[in-house]
Structure 1
Amino acid sequence: MSALPALRDAIRPFLRPLQRALGPARRARWQARYLRDGIEGIAMELRTTTRHHADLLRQFGASVGSEISIHGPIHIVNAGNDFRNLRLGNRVHLGTDVLIDLADAVIIEDDATLSMRVSIVTHLDVGQGPLRARRPREQGPVCIRRGAYLGLGATVLHGVTIGEGATIGAHALVDRDVPPGATLLAPRARRTPEREG
């Protein structure tokens, strides 16, 4: 099995020009998918492709900086007709299975890291049921400032800004603004006292 990675590394330099040459055909295929399935079809491409995430996002309206790292799949929901509500700065890292709700703007500034399974949620809508009278739709942009770090499975709710250089621990639920440089941690699992019995 170790021969296969070595072979892949050996032929990679020869494949790069071929991949560049296929770029226009790839973009044409994405346009055809958009015409057929709309932005949901492109969102599905983001879930299934192993590379080209940044190109896909740019082609369909997102502002994407340089040297970004996206380990797909990436899940984008509520995008409307395009990804214009998404802005990724330079050297942003998105881990596997990041979910981004684009009902409102999402801004992720330079050098920010979103670890695996982070969720960015820009709205709350209980639907058409009886709760609607008590819980009307809420919506707001989310901003992750420069150099912030969000740990595995963290969730950021609508209207929240994560300050520059802040750290959000694994599985934390963030429902209010986080000051620059602050650290927020989710409660740890703890052992309960043994029952006498």
Structure 2
Amino acid sequence: MLGFYSEEELKKIGFKHIGVNVKISDKSSIYFPETISIGNNVRIDDFCILTGGTSGINIGSYIHIAAFSAIFGSGGGVTLKDFSCLSSRVTLYSLSDDYSGHSLTNPTVPKEFLGVEKGHILIEKHVVIGTNSTVLPGVTIGEGSAIGAHSLVKESLDPWGIYAGTPVRKIKNRKKEILRLEKELKQ
């Protein structure tokens, strides 16, 4: 299919696991694919960056990652559970430099001069993250939550909430109709 890697090309990339009906743009950048697992029915659009690193990335099934999004699993790893979705320009950082001034920053500096924060990011089932949002290390976004555009998520969020802002705050509860739709889809 034009614009997406073929099934044969996906196998050659060397993913830890790759499911069926996976469409990854041939304009995406993939680093350390041997630490990246991808489920079934996944689409990753143009100009996305996936960096598995030592901790890896686990992508479930029925997931869409829109254009220009980035997932950095190098610090503590990243898990996206089934039916989650990243809108365009969403960034998930499982590793972040310490910007307090107590250490140097950036990847050109030797490790002994760096201060970093790292932690696993867990995106539970049915989570939707709006465009231009950022999720920082160690965050869990509870099942069914929706994150508004241009949001900063620096602390874990409860399930079934609608959150927005910098940093995010809960706006209201989210409906659970999607659970019925998931059951219908799987029948």
**Correspondence list, 1:82-97, <5 A:** 85-97=56-68
* Shift of residue 162, structure 1, vs aligned partner: 0.5
In the alignment, structure 1 residue 80 sits paired with structure 2 residue 53: yes
Q: Which one has the bigger helix percentage?
A: 1
Identify the match of residue 119 of structure 2 among 133, 140, 164. Answer: 140
Give the conservation status (yes or no) of the 8 Å contact 1:57–1:64.
Answer: no
Return the offset for 1:26.
8.0
- The superposition leaves residues 136-178 of structure 1 with CA deviations (integer Å, 9 ceiling, x where unpaired) of 3211000100000000011000000001000000010000011
The 3-state SS of whatever aligns with 1:138 is: strand
The 4+ residue runs of structure 1 with deviation greater than 6 A are none
TM-superposed deviation, 1:80: 3.4
Tell me if the contact between 2:27 and 2:47 (Cα under 8 Å) persists in the aligned partners: yes
SS in 2 for 1:60: helix
Deviations 1:10-49 (A, max 9, x none): xx7xx9xxx66xx27982xx57xxxxxxxxxxxxxxx971
Preserved contact between residue 38 and residue 60 of structure 2 (Cα < 8 Å)? yes
Q: Is the 8 A contact 2:72 2:94 kept in 1?
A: yes
**Which of 174, 177, 180 is 2:159 aligned to?**
180
Change (3 A) 1:70 1:80: closer
Give the percent of matched residue pairs that are identical in Structure 1 and Structure 2: 25
Distance 1:124 1:185 in 2: 22
How many correspondences in the alignment?
144
User: Structure 1: which 5+ residue stretches go unaligned?
Assistant: 1-11, 32-46, 188-197
Give CA-to-partner distance per residue, 1:82-124, whole Å, 9 cap, x none: xx61000010110001111112210000000100000001122
State TM-score, norm by structure 2. Answer: 0.65
Change (3 A) 1:171 1:66: same
| Runs of 5+ unmatched residues, structure 2 | 15-23, 105-113, 167-187
Code of the residue aligned with 1:143 in structure 2: it is L
Distance, in Å, in 2 between the alignment partners of 1:116 and 1:25 is: 22
TM-score (norm 1): 0.62
The residue identity in structure 2 corresponding to 1:61 is T
Bigger CA radius of gyration: 1
Give the secondary-structure state (helix, strand or coil) at the position aligned to 2:50: strand
Structure with greater strand share of residues? 2
Q: How far apart, CA to CA, are the structure 2 residues paired with 1:179 and 1:25?
A: 35
SS of match in other structure, 1:97: coil
State the superposition RMSD in angstroms: 3.4
Partner of 1:194: none
Counterparts in 2 of 1:183 and 1:126: CA distance versus 1, 3 Å: same
Change (3 A) 1:111 1:130: closer
Q: Name the residue aligned to 1:49.
A: 26
